[in-house]
Amino acid sequence: IEPLLGHERFDFLHYDVTNYLHVEGELDAILHFASPASPADFERLPIQILKVGSIGTHKALGLAKAKGARFLLASTSECYGDPLVSPQPETYFGNVNPVGIRGVYDEATRFAEAMTMAYHRHHGVEVRIVRIFNTFGPRMQLDDGRAIPNFFTQALRGEDVTVYGDGSQTRSICYVEDLVEGLWRLLNCDYTGPVNIGSQAEISMFDLAKKIIELCGSESKIIHKDLPADDPKVRRPDITLAREKLGWEAQIPADEGLRRTHEYFVEALKARESGG
Ligand code: UDP
């Protein structure tokens, strides 16, 4: 999307997926990951998120149809909104506020799922849908705005660590290598419907903040800020389907993933502070 192109956080974008997409030659598969996904972006880029999830998904599906390519949609646990059941199975329809600040991402992705299934049913496009739960690891942006990058940058700089609300809300954190393995297995399997990919390592945000401060050997204090509207109170995937269809579950313990991520943030902050 044009407004994103000059944006330092999105300068890796080469295509405006909301316009007609043309790619030379044959394509085996199209993996549609084109959306900002940090809650901080829901207020920074609301219209772009809606456009990329709706018009962008339409264009990417059009390309898949034209090329006879398999299409994988990166959907999200946000489809479940602030869930009233936990853990969340794929059969749960969710509890989403369409007009809240998170609605731009939740509804764009729910629309993207509907569009993907319509192309499958109506045009026979082979599709896969992954509902990605909280994922972390090296190469996250320092200013991403999500909990794990915030906690690391704050703790390493000795700044106050910002926990929103009382910090009792939970997330299940999956190391990026595990996620990638799950995506690869899903792309190559023969199952159409949505599949949750996420870890079972459910932790409260207060405990996560404490753990990251400790890992950084930091003196930072935890401070509490207002909980954003519609912030989910719990989030944990039911991964029965991923186990059955893909033989997948997360292998890397959260503590090991956090240790590797800590190493990355130490280096990334050094590079940032020396102007690199
Ligand atoms: N959060 C927090 N401090 C921060 C950033 C986020 O306490 O500096 C909380 C946020 O309110 C949410 C949880 O951490 O309850 C996970 O937020 P994140 O932005 O990582 O993604 P989400 O899972 O909400 O999409």
Q: Above 70 in pLDDT, residue 1?
A: no
CA of 222 to the centre of ligand 1 (A): 14
* Residues sharing a CB contact under 8 Å with residue 184, sequence separation 6 or more, in sequence order: none
pLDDT at 21: 81
pLDDT tens column, 65-112: 999 999 999 999 999 999 999 999 999 999 999 999 999 999 999 999
β-strand pairing of 202-204 with 170-172: antiparallel
Residue 260, judged by CB atoms within 10 A of its CB (0-12, 13-18, 19+), counts as middle
Q: Above 60 in pLDDT, residue 223?
A: yes
pLDDT at 2: 42
Neighbouring CB atoms inside 10 A of 54's CB total 18
User: Is 154 close to ligand 1, i.e. is its CB under 6 Å away?
Assistant: no
d(CA 255, CA 214) in angstroms, rounded, equals: 12
User: Is 150 close to ligand 1, i.e. is its CB under 6 Å away?
Assistant: yes
* Residues sharing a CB contact under 8 Å with residue 135, sequence separation 6 or more, in sequence order: 173, 174, 175, 176, 179, 198
Mean pLDDT for the stretch of residues 20-41: 90
pLDDT at 5: 45
pLDDT tens column, 43-71: 999 999 999 999 999 999 999 999 999 99
Q: Which atom of ligand 1 is nearest to the CA of 39?
A: 19
Q: Above 60 in pLDDT, residue 12?
A: no
Q: What is the SS3 assignment for 31? A: strand
d(CA 126, CA 28) in angstroms, rounded, equals: 11
pTM beyond 0.85, yes or no: yes
pLDDT tens column, 161-211: 999 999 999 999 999 999 999 999 999 999 998 999 999 999 999 999 999
**250: pLDDT confidence band, cut at 50, 70 and 90?**
very high
β-strand pairing of 174-175 with 135-136: parallel
User: Is 159 close to ligand 1, i.e. is its CB under 6 Å away?
Assistant: no
Mean pLDDT for the stretch of residues 220-224: 98
CA of 234 to the centre of ligand 1 (A): 11
